Amino acid sequence: MVSNMVAQTPQITNVENRQTMTLNGVWKYLVDPYELGYYDYRRTVRDLQENPSKSESFFLGYQQQDPSERVEYDFTKADNILVPGDWNSQKEKLFYYEGTVWYYKAFKYQPKDEASRQFVHFGAVNYEADVYLNGQKLGKHIGGFTPFNYEITDKLKEGENFLIVKADNSRGLEKVPTVNTDWWNYGGITRDVKIVEVPETFIQDYYIQLAEGDDDVIEVSVTLNGSDKAGREVILDIPEAGIKSTLTTNEGGVATGTVKAKKLTLWSPQNPHLYDVNLMFDDNLVSERIGFRTLLVQGSDILLNDESVFLRGISIHEENGMRGGRAYSEEDARMLLGWAKELGCNFVRLAHYPHNENMTRVADEMGIMVWSEVPVYWTIQWQNEATYENAENQLTSMITRDKNRASVVVWSVANETPVSAPRTEFLKSLIEKANQMDPVRLVSAALERHTKEGTENTQVVEDPLQKYVDIIAFNEYIGWYDGRNDKLKTAEFDIQFNKPVIISEFGAGALQGLHGEKEALWTEEYQEELYRETVKMLEKIPQLRGMTPWILADFRSPRRVLPDIQDGWNRKGLISETGNKKKAFYILQEYYRMKKEQF
Ligand code: GCB
């Protein structure tokens, strides 16, 4: 047995466009709330034992050999479950379940001549995943929304194989996010599973984007993985831009350089142009469609390709209410981002964790800018080093996956975190990490505001983090959690920094189809009025450069129990979970129509 390690193999990117074999589809599952398959009755971890018991160590995928043998599990007789997909929406009995579920997939593998190494890649498993191939441990991954992979070259067999995943979505105080959130804790293998097939030495990862503030210099960095990665030539080929350039790797297998590009058609919401980009190394070709655009902050302006933009946004959870459950597919992405487009958006806030890769790829294609976030949400153990490491891993993984997406313009490190010295240190370190990994994109966090002491209704953000972020973003719920809609009419804002301001949230709960006086909570009319007054109020902020109201669609949350109104749903959506638009949708649509003409 290998140790119960947390480390994973370095992340392979652009898995979408590589030679892969899918492991999606029907899997078997066993629910194991007491973790019998993982701990013995003295609570020692079975996969660390010399000879783990065949009768109970689920990860061995063992089957009874004769009737006298005691084996207390059997995957082949277990119920089916679909991957990708959370268990809560697939199995009624698991709707509220938080704990361990074992997944089992038997598959045949036929080695390909040209592929000498194989990796198993997961888009995401919520929250913790222990992964085993043919009874051997590959590793443990922590964090419910980021990709990970393990090399399986020596463990994969020609013919029959089986993959076992122990998925555990238990919440915990030290985790990221912590126990307290406002969304459904969907568990399981929620994204694609693939075997990635690559040559002995291969292109593991790369960065190909315009240099900061430069519209004709492309920065390139390519990382090879394998035994023969030093001093090797990699060719970058962008036919439509007339670019063909050779780079050579250093001792560590990394090739870096800059390439001059003439007259690129820059990516923008009006013209989301993507180039076919090819990287060639030996016979190994990795291709991807990539957009090029510049991004800068100048005073309170956000300059996209040198032009000031207003971010007409909306917040989105990764959920498809109509099917029920976590969104994961390209169709889900097209539905959610299609609604955003219809609203007039050029921007979305993917809250509160990294969404599946289809979202950022479809956003690239549709010309929608993206705010991407890690689930450092509300309270976190700011002084726990393991918690920090976990948060940083999630941030690193998110940036690694999406750093070539032109659509992604903001990395967000947190949401509504209570100000304290340890918290600010924690977030400052995350900001530094994001800036170091990606000097071009903007970094922000959704902060909080409050009414300034001694004033009637002057709104201020008193948070030392403002100094370190590129964009000042804050959530405000005047008219909902703070007073009623009349308070919106008199509010003033006093923002101390000459930086762009984005209102990362505002909103009100409304049950679609419930009508009444505009003073009556939960009616569409109340929400409509709140939107009408809020956009007027926000116009008073001179640095205002965008907003992402809360939220595109009603979403499931265990915090929302009010019978006949919420019934388990956060009702702040502009669209119901059944896909029907509420009145406020049209208020925001109208406002965005106007903003589009102004900017
Ligand atoms: C917030 C949170 C968001 C909640 C929302 C609400 O401030 O950031 O996650 O869902 O308020 O509806 O209360």
How many domains does the chain contain in total? 3
Q: CB of 377 closer than 6 A to ligand 1?
A: no
Whether 373 lines ligand 1, by a CB cut-off of 6 Å, is no
Residue 164 structure tokens: 């076992």
Q: What's the pLDDT at 113?
A: 72
Q: Is the confidence at residue 61, as pLDDT, over 80?
A: yes
Mutate to test the pocket of ligand 1, among 185, 550, 559 (most ligand atoms within 8 A of CB): 550
Per the rule left: phi > 0, alpha: psi between -120 and 50, beta: everything else, 14 is: left
Asked whether residue 315 is assigned to any structural domain, the reply reads no
Supply the pLDDT for residue 8. 59
505 within ligand 1 shell (Cβ under 6 A): yes
Question: Do 282 and 387 fall within a single domain?
Answer: no
Predicted confidence band of residue 1 (pLDDT cuts 50, 70, 90):
very low
pLDDT at 525: 98
In a domain? residue 515: yes
DSSP strands (E only) in 434-486: 442-448, 450-451, 458-460, 472-475
Average pLDDT for residues 135-161, to the nearest whole number? 97
Q: Is residue 521 part of a domain?
A: yes
| In a shared domain, residues 434 and 582 | yes
Beta-carbon neighbour count of residue 198 at 10 Å? 24
Task: Annotate 544-563 with DSSP letters as a single string.
Answer: EEEE--S-SB-EE-TT---T
Cα of 543 vs centre of ligand 1, distance in Å, is 24
Interval 94-118 mean pLDDT: 93
Per-residue pLDDT band for 6 (boundaries 50, 70, 90) equals very low
Instruction: Identify whether residues 385 and 517 lie together within a single domain.
Output: yes
What CATH number does residue 241 fall under? Answer: 2.60.40.10
pLDDT for 239 equals: 98
249-305: per-residue pLDDT in tens? Answer: 999 999 999 999 989 999 999 999 999 999 999 989 999 999 999 999 999 999 999
Which residue shows structure tokens 């190994």?
Answer: 284
| One-letter identity of residue 593 | R
pLDDT of residue 448: 98
Say yes or no: CB of residue 184 within 6 Å of ligand 1: no
Asked whether residue 105 falls in the same domain as residue 245, the answer is: no
Cβ of 572 less than 6 Å from ligand 1:
yes
* 225-231: long-range contacts, CB 8 A cutoff, minimum separation 24: 225/10, 225/12, 225/201, 225/253, 226/117, 226/199, 226/200, 226/201, 226/202, 226/253, 227/200, 227/201, 228/200, 228/201, 229/201, 229/253
Q: Kindly state the percentage of the chain with pLDDT values over 70.
A: 98
Q: Is the CB of 403 under 6 A from ligand 1?
A: no
Question: 284 and 304: one domain?
Answer: no
252 and 304 inside one domain: no
- Residue 271: which domain range? 202-293
In a domain, 344, yes or no: no
What are the start-end ranges of the H helices in 403-473? 421-437
**How many Å apart are CA 215 and CA 294, to the nearest integer?**
6
Tell me how far CA of residue 189 lies from CA of 8, 498, 530, 590, in angstroms: 17, 44, 38, 40
Which has more confidence, 209 or 8? 209
Structure tokens, 175: 């985790």
The closest residue, in CA terms, to atom 7 on ligand 1 is 475
Say whether both 169 and 221 belong to one domain. no
- 22 domain-assigned: yes
> Which CATH number do you get for residue 433?
3.20.20.80
pTM: 0.97
Last residue of a domain, one of 151, 183, 198: 198
Residue 503, domain member (yes or no): yes
Task: Give the residue-averaged pLDDT of 153-181.
Answer: 98
Q: Which residue has the tokens 């920094």?
A: 497
Looking at the fold, whether 61 and 183 belong to one and the same domain comes out as yes
Task: Indicate if 161 and 268 belong to the same structural domain.
Answer: no
Could you tell me which of 290, 351, 385 has the C-alpha nearest to residue 475? 351
Q: CB of 415 closer than 6 A to ligand 1?
A: yes
391 touches 176 (CB < 8 A): yes
Q: How far is the CA of 150 from the CAs of 11, 130, 165, in angstroms? A: 9, 11, 13
pLDDT at 3 over 50: no
- At residue 4 the predicted structure's pLDDT band, cuts being 50, 70 and 90, is very low
249 Cα to the center of ligand 1, angstroms = 47
**Inside any domain, residue 101:** yes
Pair (160, 49) in one structural domain: yes
Distance CA(378)–CA(415), nearest Å, equals: 6
Centroid of ligand 1 to alpha carbon of 294 (angstroms): 32
- Residue 548 Cβ contacting ligand 1 at under 6 Å: no
Question: Does one domain contain both 419 and 445?
Answer: yes
Least confident range from 64-68, 210-214, 458-462: namely 210-214
Beta-sheet pairing, 233-238 with 275-281: antiparallel
| Angle ∠(225,231,234) on CA atoms, nearest 5 | 70
Q: Give the residue from 293, 327, 348 where a domain finishes.
A: 293
The pLDDT tens digits for 386-441 are: 999 999 999 999 999 999 999 999 999 999 999 999 999 999 999 999 999 999 99
Question: In this structure, are 237 and 287 located in the same domain?
Answer: yes
> pLDDT averaged over the chain?
97
Decide if 44 is inside a domain. yes
Q: Which of these three, 263, 293, 323, is where a domain ends?
A: 293
> How sure is the predictor about 307, in pLDDT bands with cuts at 50, 70 and 90?
very high
